[in-house]
Structure 1
Amino acid sequence: MLIVKNWTFKTPQKLVVTGKSPADNGFSINIGYDENNIALHFNPRFNDQSDTQSIVLNSKKDGIWGVEEVLNFVYKFHPHQEFKVGFTFTDKQFEIELPNGTPVTFPNRFGAFRFNHIHYVGAGRINSMSIN
């Protein structure tokens, strides 16, 4: 797990993450206040039995997961391949730019304008994280 703390990400900034996907099982990028308070859980999944080729979006408040949204469509991430994904948000929603430019939205269930915790979980590699 890679954890970035005390690095403020706020509206209207854009977080861009580049890396290489793991061989299997997918990965997650999490934005929030800490590991128990995640406003956006972004989780591409490759070989999960029930979620083959999907992206799961969710949030976690006080250690309790919310209702997840599962996106099943033409897959935008592939095992062993480089990726670039962008994140912006308002107090109403997150806007996620997938590797091919496809936009995806998810509600900002925290209603916040600023977050200071980003963490990555997975066997893949992060090449860079930047906030513009």
Structure 2
Amino acid sequence: MSLSLICASPIFFFQELELKNVNLRPGDKLKVKGEILHDAERFQIDLGLDSEDLALHFNPHYHDDADGAVLVCNSKTAGCWGDEKREIHNLLLRGSEVKVRKCFKGKLFTKIKCFLFQILPDGQEMQFPNRADMDVITYIRAAGDFKLTSFKIC
């Protein structure tokens, strides 16, 4: 399966993109490219079954009361949030263009599914477990202070 959305005009951008009935399986990759707004407070990219059941909530914050700029990841099951994973070294700077690659994969032998992020161009990587043990992702949402220019599932 391959799905691409490319916004060619610099005037045209999404502040929210919501996709339902997607079929993202282990081994598939999600590539998101865009620009973080200069006055960004936060944005998010969610993957799951629907808005109440998220295997991954990827949520960079730029003015967090506790940690300042921080990458926050979490999961949500039946509307209840899990424990946040916080990465203090947020290299996603306001006003910068970023590419985020998310790979939905299972680990060999242990069969623990997880998400692997690679944030380009510096190649920072981060992992987050698939706590809900979802075998397929059918819901994707991108929203917030982020100008989405390219979106691809491959």
Q: TM-score, normalised by structure 2?
A: 0.80
The yes-or-no answer on 1:9 pairing with 2:32 is no
Percent identical residues: 32
Match of 2:41 in 1: 25
Give the drift of 1:11.
1.3
- 2:45/2:142 contact within 8 Å kept: yes
The yes-or-no answer on 1:97 pairing with 2:112 is no
Match of 1:107 in 2: 129
Over the residues paired in the alignment, what is the CA RMSD in angstroms? 1.3
Match of 1:131 in 2: 153
SS of 2:28 mapped into structure 1: coil
- 1:39/1:110 contact within 8 Å kept: yes
- 1:90/1:112 contact within 8 Å kept: no
1:45 is matched with which residue: 23, 41, 61?
61
1:60 is matched with which residue: 73, 76, 101?
76
2:28 counterpart letter in structure 1? Q
Give the drift of 1:61.
0.5
Query: Would you tell me which structure has more strand in proportion to its own residues?
Result: 2
The superposition leaves residues 59-105 of structure 1 with CA deviations (integer Å, 9 ceiling, x where unpaired) of 000000001011112x3101121110001123421111112211110
Give the drift of 1:110.
1.5
Q: TM-score, normalised by structure 1?
A: 0.92
Counterparts of residues 57-96 of structure 1 (less than 5 Å): 57-73=73-89, 75-91=90-106, 92-96=113-117
Aligned residue pair count: 131
SS of 1:78 mapped into structure 2: coil
Give the drift of 1:20.
1.0
Match of 2:7 in 1: none
SS of 1:24 mapped into structure 2: coil
Show structure 1 runs of 5+ residues with no match. none
1:51 counterpart letter in structure 2? D
Structure 2 distance, partners of 1:111, 1:35, is 16
